[in-house]
Structure formats: structure tokens, C-alpha cells
Copies of this chain bind each other. A is one copy, B any other.
């Protein structure tokens, strides 16, 4: 029997990123918690992990820029994608009810996403913590009247009760996109349906970005996302992370890259991978939840 794969993520057990590992690499994988995003990339490159899961974008708060910069910095490949519907749960030590709660801990972003709950429960204080699953871990240790906002997976990990599901203000539209990263690109080059590239224009002349987008448009390559990042050491110049539908082994994509490289432009393919679908978070390792 094959050894289970080891997959790295940033956070503590029960983190939303751990759920992404299971979706991207299968429920049988062994997950490796890391302190920093950098540690995930380094574990993948030095062989401690067979792959990693990193969040790149959330539909309510936008791009997670540290990972855009780290995807540039480390020579990893994007090999997959998943879009996880974030469903915040109100967790508390077993036996503690909503009426007993004096405070609720979580990451400031999760607290903000559940602000309606705090507005309608003025006696419950919102207490900022380092991360969501980490606050579940703390609350389980304290065994007091403080709850946590975290995933259902965190409730299971730390033996907490779920007092309320979908605590977020806008259920159904809070989705985080994760990339699967690995040391090598996908073995089957034909499996990719979406590409992520970094495009560095050859200078700062007017119209260069428009010209670059024309190269995609004339070939009907559907541009899904454009993200600009500062070009290191060159104030007010930018590099562009572009996501588009297409397979990197096709002539259309090869011609596009060729055009982008004219006039000194640089193109780096970060990965060609199957476009991810939207999934529900794991509440346990037993089942892979899928949206209808």
C-alpha cells in the first residue's frame, strides 16, 4: 500500500486550510501544520511535505497578497485549486449555551464577518485572537464561558460543541480559494484547464497592459483574474498575476506567451491545473462534502 502523502498548511489543526488539504490531496493525506506561509513552501521544496495548500483569495476580503509574493519567490508549481465555502460556527465548551457566553474569540477578520451576531448580542464581547482554529484550541483549554468562531472541523478537533452554524453576516458568499502547490508540475500536462502566470511588462510604456490583454482576447482565452503587485526596486512599476482558462500545452497559449515576451516582457507559468469547484468545508474526515 502507498504511504499516505504529507501535505503542509499554515495554521493549527482544524484550520480552514487543513480542510483545503483534504479536498486537494484526498482525505487519506497526513496534514502538517506550519507556523508561517513561508514554512509551507519550504516544507514542499525540501521534501518534508509532498504538497501544500495555500489560500490566495477570499470573496469578501480580497487577495491574500503574501501568498502572491511567495508564489513568485519560491520555485513551486500550482497543481490544483479548490474554492471553499467558509461557514463560521459558534463553538463553546460542551454544556455552555449562548446565554452563558461572556466573550467570543477569533481572528479579527472572522469577528468582522460575524458582526451582526455581536450587534444582536451586546453582552458578548468580541475578542481578537491570532487565528480561528487557534482560538478554538484556547477556548477548549480554558473551559470557561468564552466561545470561539471557527470551523466545524475545529469543533471536532478540540471537542467543542457547535452552538450555531453559519454565524457569518452573509452566508453563501464567503468563499476562499486555495492553490495546491508541489515541487513538480502536474504529470499529465493535458489535465490542466486553467493557468496562472506572472507577467512582467518590458518597461513602463503606456498601453503595454492593454496590448497584453489583447493577446488573450484575440484567442478567446477567458481572463478570470488580474492582480497587480509592486515591481521590486522599481517604484510605480507593476507585475501582474493573471489567471485564465486554457491549457498551457496548446498552441493558442504558447502564441500568447510568445507575444507577451515581445518587447522585453517576461512570462513565468506558475501552474496549469484543473479549475477548482466550490466545496463545503470538512466537518470530519469521514465524508467529502460537495455542493449540490
Q: Which of B59, B229, B233 contacts A170 (CB 8 A)?
A: B233
B residues near A213, Cβ cutoff 8 Å = 209-210, 213
Whether the pair A173, B233 counts as a contact (CB closer than 8 A) is yes
Whether the pair A224, B207 counts as a contact (CB closer than 8 A) is no
Which residues in window 40-78 of A have CB below 8 A to B? 57-63, 65
Q: Which of B209, B216, B233, B235 contacts A223 (CB 8 A)?
A: B209
B residues near A234, Cβ cutoff 8 Å = 173
Return A38 CB to nearest CB of chain B, in Å.
Answer: 12
B residues near A83, Cβ cutoff 8 Å = 235
Q: In the complex the two chains form, what is the Cα distance from A226 to B229 in whole Å?
A: 10
Q: In the complex the two chains form, what is the Cα distance from A238 to B62 in whole Å?
A: 9
Whether the pair B226, A228 counts as a contact (CB closer than 8 A) is yes
- State how many copies of this chain the complex holds: 2
Please tell me if A189 contacts chain B, counting CB pairs below 8 Å: no
How many chain A residues touch the partner (CB < 8 A)? 36
Please tell me if A230 contacts chain B, counting CB pairs below 8 Å: yes
Q: In the complex the two chains form, what is the Cα distance from A62 to B68 in whole Å?
A: 11
Please tell me if A142 contacts chain B, counting CB pairs below 8 Å: no
Whether the pair A59, B228 counts as a contact (CB closer than 8 A) is no
Please tell me if A214 contacts chain B, counting CB pairs below 8 Å: yes
Known: A214-B210, A235-B175. A229 touches B60 (CB 8 A): no
Please tell me if A232 contacts chain B, counting CB pairs below 8 Å: yes
Known: A62-B65, A65-B62. A206 touches B229 (CB 8 A): no
Q: Which of B59, B60, B206 contacts A236 (CB 8 A)?
A: B59
Q: In the complex the two chains form, what is the Cα distance from A213 to B226 in whole Å?
A: 13
Please tell me if A227 contacts chain B, counting CB pairs below 8 Å: yes
The 0/1 profile, CB within 8 Å of B marked 1, for residues 114-148 of chain A is 00000000000000000000000000000000000
17 A-B residue contacts at CB 8 Å?
A61-B230, A173-B233, A173-B234, A173-B235, A175-B235, A207-B222, A209-B223, A209-B226, A210-B210, A210-B213, A210-B214, A213-B213, A225-B236, A225-B238, A226-B228, A226-B238, A227-B228
